[in-house]
Amino acid sequence: MRRAPTARWLGICSAALLSACQGPSEGKGASGGGPAAETGSPGGDGVDSGLLDASLTLGAVQTCAEPLPGPAYTEQGAALGFLPRDSDDGSRLGGSSLAALDLDQDGDLDIVEARRGSIPRVYWREGAQFAPRTLLPAPADGRVRPLDLDNDGWIDLVQTDPDFWWRGGPRGIEPRQRLRIGDGELGVIDLLPLDLNHDGTLELFAAVQSMDEAPDPRRDGVLWGDLTEGWALEALPAPESAGNAAHASAIDWDQDGDLEVMVTNDMGGRFGGNQLWAAEDGWLLPRAAPGCLPTVSGMGQTFGDVDNDGDEDIYIGATFEPKLLRHEDDHSCVDLTAATGANPLVERAPSLGPMVWAAVFLDHDNDGRLDLLLTEGDLINPPGEGATLPAYPSPIDLLVQQPDGTFVDRGAALGLAREGSHRAALAEDLNEDGVLDLLVAETDRPLQVYLSTGCIAAAHLRIEAPEGTVARVQIDGVERFGVVRAEQGVGAWRSPSLHLGLGAAEAVDRIELRAPSGAMIAVDGPISTRRTLRWTP
């Protein structure tokens, strides 16, 4: 057994190889890192691009000659080449996985989609279209997660149920191999890559889902091992509070540089509430976070600074009662759901079992206030397969934050689907116009891709950096805060990045970045907005 006092989050790729997994960069220099590095102004009026530091580059400023008054979308999923589920047994019980990544490192984003009961697919970007490739022969029951399992700099795909992995490399995704997680009987629903002892060897946090009434089969744990020998699970303590995992995320909850793992549990009233695990004394132990770990029938969580106070808040998707939780200075939480109108399910009939499946914090209109993309999904069984809930027309909600902190749903006004059974969701700028496009998985229909129809007047800044990098951006004496993340809600991933909406700001005064490794950098402006900043310490 290997233990250490802290855990390091490796994200989709190993920390040493992140630059290789983020696609090509303009003018990339030698690796930086170490103590904080300072650069001066980028020069002139702040619109220069190119090399600012050995580890930091700025992309060109995006022009917007005829800005729209606000975001507008058109749904293009089927037209772009995405396909419906390859088999339909009538069940909507299953989840989905969704990723937007440059798998072949050719400079554009490829899409991974997996739906329960169907063969996972990779959609390779080919010009303006996406060409599907089926990953035979294992139908997905668990999620298909991207991570660099063999630490070679290429993104692999890992399926938790059944346990397989597809190796990434120059030729794309190689044929599958058995992953050999434990004895094959574990209900692992989520995996997080860790390096618990900082030896460069990958360990995996395993979030376990089971309907067993006894606590032991539901205990989350750490998987030790490798691809040659397989992984063995060491269960975490406190079996009396073992939940029924639906989603696990890495977060530096108290911003002390050490990792915590937050787990959202399903059917909390029956199996136990959500959990926060912290690295203490060489192991992961339960940590108290009053008000932050509700007992709900949870699907998953997302993180973002919804009140612009310099720390990450939480939104938890759940059946009946999703939660918006504000992170307080003492690292407790206050429930703002009712006060802000952040629960769209109050409009649904309880008899339908309505649920928010996926939740994503995003700034869809670049106004500097975080909004919420929420997917609702029903739960029905095919005839003869147990209890059946009625289907309900589950919409996609886009809750837009108002200046007073309340939310208004503009999903219908923006043309988002009002009927379906929706699952994982991503916000990513596929057409590179500075507006986040919306990708939403559906149980039966093709992936729904809501492409923005043009740029908008409000500005943005995109930051690409190692997973977990903390960014602080100063504009006219006001600081904006965000964390670079690969995960976007339950079952969804992208290349590690942060999209900051900046309103009318044409330039920022200062950017400070701090990576989980301790590397830091600060850049003084003016630095023009509407561009990408890439840091590879």
Q: Strand order in 230-235's β-sheet?
A: 8-9, 188-195, 203-208, 221-226, 230-235
User: How much is the pTM?
Assistant: 0.90
Identify the weakest region by mean pLDDT among 35-49, 262-276, 415-429, 503-517. Answer: 35-49
Residue-level pLDDT at 528: 95
Q: Are 377 and 423 a contacting pair, CB within 8 Å?
A: yes
In b/e form, how buried is each residue of 287-323, taking b as 16+ CB within 10 angstroms?
bebeebbbbbbbbbbbbbbbbeeebbbbbbbbbebbb
**What gap in Å lies between CA 202 and CA 39, rounded to an integer?**
34
Which letter does DSSP use for residue 83 in this model?
A: -
Q: Are 117 and 139 a contacting pair, CB within 8 Å?
A: yes
Chain segment 106-150, per-residue pLDDT in tens: 999 999 999 887 889 999 999 989 999 998 766 777 789 999 988
Residue-level pLDDT at 32: 34
Residue-level pLDDT at 85: 85
Chain segment 332-354, per-residue pLDDT in tens: 999 999 999 999 999 999 988 89
Structure tokens at 476: 């006219």
User: What's the chain's length in residues?
Assistant: 537
Q: Is the pLDDT of residue 442 over 50?
A: yes
DSSP per residue, 113-126 = EEETTS--EEEEEE
Q: Are 420 and 442 a contacting pair, CB within 8 Å?
A: yes
Structure tokens at 472: 């602080």
**What gap in Å lies between CA 249 and CA 177, rounded to an integer?**
26
Structure tokens at 325: 């939780």
Q: How confident is the model at residue 364 (pLDDT cuts 50, 70, 90)?
A: very high
**189 conformational bin, left if phi > 0, alpha if psi -120 to 50, beta if neither:** alpha
